[in-house]
A = this chain, B = another copy of it.
Amino acid sequence: MTTKAPTSSAVRLAAETWESLFRSQVAVMRRLQAGPAFKKLPIKEYDVLFTLSRCPTGKLRLNEINDHVLLSQSSLSRLVDRLETRGLVERSIAPDDGRGILLGLTAAGQELQKEIGREHVRDIAELVAPALTADEQRELLRLTEKLQAFVASK
């Protein structure tokens, strides 16, 4: 099979689209991380608590968490050290794989996640809801999910 060469206009469109997605993320993230909630805990550390809180089993492998954040493996390992030192998460050995580490929230971790989460969600809503109609938000959600799914499958 031959792979069709992309036209230069198609390449340009993709580049512009990514550029805009990236810049909008920068703009929103800048505002969000300036919120007072993240004086208590840096947003990257909160994100790990959040990810754990969303997980049905309550526990995740470090390498699974690593897929969700833009950090190197060693940086995540140390970030988790900090969370563990503060008593917000607990490491345990994965039952089915002796190399793996399962991470779970402690009661204090759940508490802090919810506390920060409430404020964070408010901030998000203040920033995103007035910018786009509900239909536009649903479409943006759909498109970013589709993009993410494609990238993950590649």
Contact = CB atoms under 8 A, between A and B. Distances in A.
A132 interface: yes
B20 A144 contact: yes
B130 A150 contact: yes
Give this chain's copy count: 2
Interface of A: 6, 10-11, 13-18, 20-31, 68-70, 121-122, 124-125, 127-132, 134, 136-141, 143-152, 154
Contacts of A17: 128, 132, 137-138, 140-141, 144
B150 A14 contact: no
Contacts of A140: 17, 20-21, 140, 143-144, 147
B15 A124 contact: yes
7 contacts: A17-B137, A18-B128, A24-B147, A26-B68, A27-B151, A29-B70, A30-B70
